[in-house]
Structure 1
Amino acid sequence: MAGLDGRAPGVPVSAAAVSQPAQNRLAVLGSPIAHSQSPAIHAAAYAALGLDWDYDRVELTEPELAGFLAARGPEWRGFSLTMPLKTEAFALADELDQAARATGAVNTLLLTPSPGGRRLRGFNTDVAGIVNSLAQHGVQRAGSVCILGGGATAGSAILAAAELGAHSVTVAVRTPAKAAGLQRQADAAGVALRIVPLGGAVAAASASDLLLSTLPGGSDTGLVFDPGVIGGLPLYDVAYAPWPSALGAQWQAAGGQLMSGLGMLLHQALVQVRIFVSGDPHAPLPDEAGVFRAMADAVEG
């Protein structure tokens, strides 16, 4: 699908093409949302691009999402979505990108004018966020991945594992029956999936190349990993507040490779900015490296 200005997909956006549209309001939606760093990150991006856009945060639960979206005026351009709205946003979207279709989760909604009013275009930028963040830390290949948690982000993690070349993924959850829906993502990714109780994560991780936790920040699994295993097993924890997580503290104490979800947040947000600016998740922004530095400085400075 062409970008908003008629470009072919993936063609870079020129500085001259970045205009000031009537749709200049954005927000992150979810619950809880007070801790979200997204407003600071997005504000820095639009300032760097010379765009006078507003980006807010709105506390919202699943039953409220449809009514909230229907009530938005023409000044609204789009939304970032976090827990627990990604599955509901998937159901409400009129169009879906490939990553959203494969994961069954939408974390970005773009409102676009249409003859019948407007359409909701749904995207999943979490997969790219995980992959690009791991690459930034030198993790570009993993034959076997162990994932903690079975929510919407776990589906994105399975797709990310496939992009790293994984042939098998083990998902460890408190209630294995509730994670059965992840088989669809595994089939789409072409990886073998095994679901085990959370307590089985220690054994599964010891036979994996990467441990990826999708559990909410503040979760304490009670899992205890051997320092010898930690030394050879990178941990990517999508949580970033509070930090370190209970799991991450074990990696810090043992000197293992530990990566926080702040990198995922930044990289997925960069793709969201592309979408909000041009409608194309693959079209680089003007001076994209500079835009990304501004986003990172907003939360790491």
Structure 2
Amino acid sequence: MTDQTYHAAVLGSPIAHSKSPAMHQAAYQYLQAPIDYDRFEVAVNQAAEFFASLDQRFGSRRRLAGFSVTMPLKAVLVPHMDHLSTRVQRLGVLNTVVFDEHGAAYGYNTDVDGVRLALAQAGFTSAAGGSMGILGAGGTATAAVAAAADMGLTQVVLYVRNPQRAQDALEVAEHFGLEARVERLETFVQQVVHHAAVVATLPAHAADALATELPSAGLPPLLDVIYDPWPTALAAAWQTTGARVASGLDMLLYQGVEQAKLFTQKVVVNPETIDWDTATQHMAAALALDVS
């Protein structure tokens, strides 16, 4: 273990409500890793100035472990990276910045892992083909598209209010070799039982009208990325059928675990010896989640 203190933080706007500091601090306390995790309010028009001030703020970019990145900065920070993972190159958005020992910035996207692992928590096991239904077509929807490819699915169906907004997600699906089509949001309830998994990325209450029209049985695992308010009307109705549901907190946890693995690489001498199952339990406890 290094005797230096490194810095990490969540960036975004608004950021006061973020649960990332409590979650990450729980991990680094358990690991006895010398990482201080903070939060910084950074709007789109402040991003360039913030990155230009890193040496001044933290003494040196070399003392940074990394940043968790939330809205509205996930695409904005991509041009500020020195290196991009293949996943970020395909998606065009990041949620994680990692600094190497020289201070170079690397952009990653662990939202994809968050989607995949949250759906596993909700009961998704494996797939050889099959489709994912995705409500919405924004940045989280593109992460869901990539997760579908990782999960062995071969098709995504995007249910949207405005089909023109789905173009980015369709291009991402093409990059990952997935068949993709766009449907109107109101057709979702007629097709839901044909999907192997569903990810709802709509804002709070935007899917409430669908909740009253769901089939009474045969629903696949659902990840609803909202966590406040919880449960959403959609998630509550889903659970009444006996189907399993993961929340935005589950996604937050699992994407955060992957971030912590990246942030500790240059801080812990032998990172491969870390008990990440126990670290995950500590992070989950900070979110009041039971992932046993």
TM-score, normalised to structure 1, is 0.84
Distance 1:97 1:20 in 2: 29
- Map Cα deviations across residues 253-281 of structure 1 (whole Å, 9 max, x no partner): 3333211122221111111011111169x
Q: Provide the residue aligned with 1:51 in structure 2.
A: 33
CA-CA distance at 1:113 after TM superposition = 4.8
Q: Secondary structure at the match of 2:100?
A: strand
Distance 1:107 1:163 in 2: 18
Q: Provide the residue aligned with 1:137 in structure 2.
A: 122
Residues 104-123 of structure 1 mapped to structure 2, 5 A cutoff: 104-114=92-102, 118-123=103-108
- Residue from 190, 206, 211 that aligns with 1:203: 190
- Map Cα deviations across residues 174-219 of structure 1 (whole Å, 9 max, x no partner): 2211220112210121111112232232233243222111223454
Ranges in structure 2 where 5+ consecutive residues have no aligned partner = none
Distance 2:67 2:217 in 1: 38
Distance change >3 Å, CA 253–CA 83, structure 1 → 2? same
Q: Secondary structure at the match of 1:146?
A: strand
| Identical positions, percent | 38
Q: Provide the residue aligned with 1:33 in structure 2.
A: 15
Distance 1:173 1:119 in 2: 38
Is contact 1:145–1:205 with CA below 8 Å preserved after alignment?
no
Q: Provide the residue aligned with 1:64 in structure 2.
A: 46
Distance change >3 Å, CA 162–CA 72, structure 1 → 2? same
Distance 2:161 2:276 in 1: 40
CA-CA distance at 1:111 after TM superposition = 2.4
CA-CA distance at 1:134 after TM superposition = 2.1
Distance change >3 Å, CA 279–CA 126, structure 1 → 2? farther
Q: Provide the residue aligned with 2:79 in structure 1.
A: 91
Residues 1-301 of structure 1 mapped to structure 2, 5 A cutoff: 18-22=1-5, 24-73=6-55, 74=60, 75-114=63-102, 118-142=103-127, 143-217=130-204, 219-224=206-211, 226-228=213-215, 231-278=218-265, 284=272, 286-300=274-288
Is contact 2:211–2:233 with CA below 8 Å preserved after alignment?
no
CA-CA distance at 1:43 after TM superposition = 0.1
Q: Provide the residue aligned with 1:12 in structure 2.
A: none
Distance change >3 Å, CA 284–CA 135, structure 1 → 2? farther
Query: RMSD of aligned C-alpha atoms?
Result: 2.2
Is contact 2:135–2:158 with CA below 8 Å preserved after alignment?
yes
Output the amino acid matched with 2:108: F
More deviation, 204-213/145-154 = 204-213
Q: Secondary structure at the match of 2:75?
A: helix
- Map Cα deviations across residues 137-191 of structure 1 (whole Å, 9 max, x no partner): 3302351111011111111100111122212111112221122011221012111
Is contact 1:99–1:125 with CA below 8 Å preserved after alignment?
no
- Map Cα deviations across residues 83-141 of structure 1 (whole Å, 9 max, x no partner): 22111122322211122222221100112354xxx422000111112212222333023
Q: How many equivalent residue pairs?
A: 278
Q: Provide the residue aligned with 1:10 in structure 2.
A: none
Output the amino acid matched with 2:39: R
Is contact 1:127–1:156 with CA below 8 Å preserved after alignment?
yes
Distance 1:172 1:261 in 2: 19
Output the amino acid matched with 1:53: I
Q: Secondary structure at the match of 1:78?
A: strand
Distance change >3 Å, CA 164–CA 45, structure 1 → 2? same
Q: Secondary structure at the match of 1:222?
A: helix
Q: Provide the residue aligned with 1:11 in structure 2.
A: none
